[in-house]
A and B are shown apart, each in its own frame.
Chain A
């Protein structure tokens, strides 16, 4: 008793498939933007508060001996600077390990004149005048270059933000085409059920009553189709996350492609949004169509 007024449509499968695919793409875009956001945070947290002094190997004379003396001078200056917490000159082995992903493990590395790297942490909460520090270092050791990574962080953050905004753009495009698809389907549905709509109208049904029959119908089928598409995307993200645990090497600098559990939950925004779009679109199309009959 009290059955749905609109009969279940046969031949709605193409629309459902289309919605599922769009929801899948939307979930991919949303997941990618979450990854980019997380990567930007990680880069920021990992590098902020750290400075590195790079001492270039001198071109003439006893390179090793000069570099050693210059390193000591730099260490001295850093240690005497207020607000610098920890200072550490990287050993030869540590430096070789850093360039290994790019240059390999061959003899090339030991033959190359590598610069000496000195790491330092800025004590949390202290405000070090990096420009002044840079000048002091430069005066004492002309080959020393101070790097506070802000350039890097800025570039990576810009990259991540560009990526995120692109993903949002893709989401908007998908939302618009989803609305267009549902509006198209609603019009077709109104045509198919023309006699029923005319009957309800003749019986004195308000536009809202008729619209409800349609919007509820499209809300439900869109919600189900979009949930399926988003679930498939979630599965792919879980597999991508699993690969890294399975020991597949992550590419240097590329953030992990998996999503955390609470990030996966965000993907449910896709079916919810799709359902809402279908609801509103179907309602507006029905009400617009009803306005044209007496």
Chain B
């Protein structure tokens, strides 16, 4: 599903923040990307989500070599990836419903066709009664659930979450991880970046650890 070969990344003329990163994400896998703050987790996720270009190395996404793929195909690849951003990035002037519906609108869906799905999904994350609320009127945890609903509404093949439990207490964090595990069971490949290794307990998962821009440890937890 995702393949990195000797990928290096630097911002502008700065130092390399990722070095010789090589790994493969199998379809249906559940992966934790761990590492201290500043280790390069967000940068690695940006490469997977086609938000940044690597400085060197080879990235293959859904079988497409990103170095040679035509520009016109990139939007279609990005649509197959759902992203939960660390800072949510909800649109403040849109209701929870419209925020969640955004990926479906981008894909050309009509409100009549997706309204039910969006309602259902928002109920599933416990926001069935806050459909019309604008993000600024929601609590941090509620905003996060809207962000998650938006990331999964279009049934992406790959779900990426950057520090999704950064802003919530341990209990809600554990519930979020169960939610991701549930999505994974339904077939979605999941990658979660976190600096909190306690999250990985009780989850069948693989850990990729970044230290100073290098992938140092790969292990499977069962």
Residues of A within 8 A of B (CB): 1-3, 5, 7, 195-196, 199-206, 209, 294
Contact status A1-B111, CB under 8 Å:
yes
Given A1-B111, A205-B75, A206-B75, A200:B106 Cβ within 8 A: yes
CA distance A203 to B76 in the complex (A): 9
B114 nearest CB neighbor, chain A only:
A2
Contact status B115-A1, CB under 8 Å:
yes
Interface band, chain B: 20 to 34
Residues of A within 8 A of B218 (CB): none
CB within 8 A of B93: which of A3, A203, A294? A3
Residues of A within 8 A of B102 (CB): 5, 200, 203
CA distance A200 to B79 in the complex (A): 10
Contact status B115-A203, CB under 8 Å:
no
Residues of B within 8 A of A (CB): 49-53, 74-81, 83, 89, 91, 93-95, 97-98, 101-103, 105-107, 111, 115
- Min C-beta distance of B189 to chain A, whole Å: 17
> Assuming A1-B115, A294-B50, what are 18 further A-B pairs, CB within 8 angstroms?
A1-B95, A3-B93, A195-B89, A196-B91, A199-B91, A200-B106, A202-B49, A202-B78, A203-B78, A203-B79, A203-B102, A204-B78, A204-B81, A204-B107, A206-B75, A209-B106, A294-B51, A294-B53
CB within 8 A of B83: which of A2, A195, A202? A202
A209 nearest CB neighbor, chain B only:
B106
Residues of A within 8 A of B101 (CB): 1-2
CA distance A76 to B168 in the complex (A): 112
- Min C-beta distance of B197 to chain A, whole Å: 28
CB within 8 A of A203: which of B52, B94, B103? B103
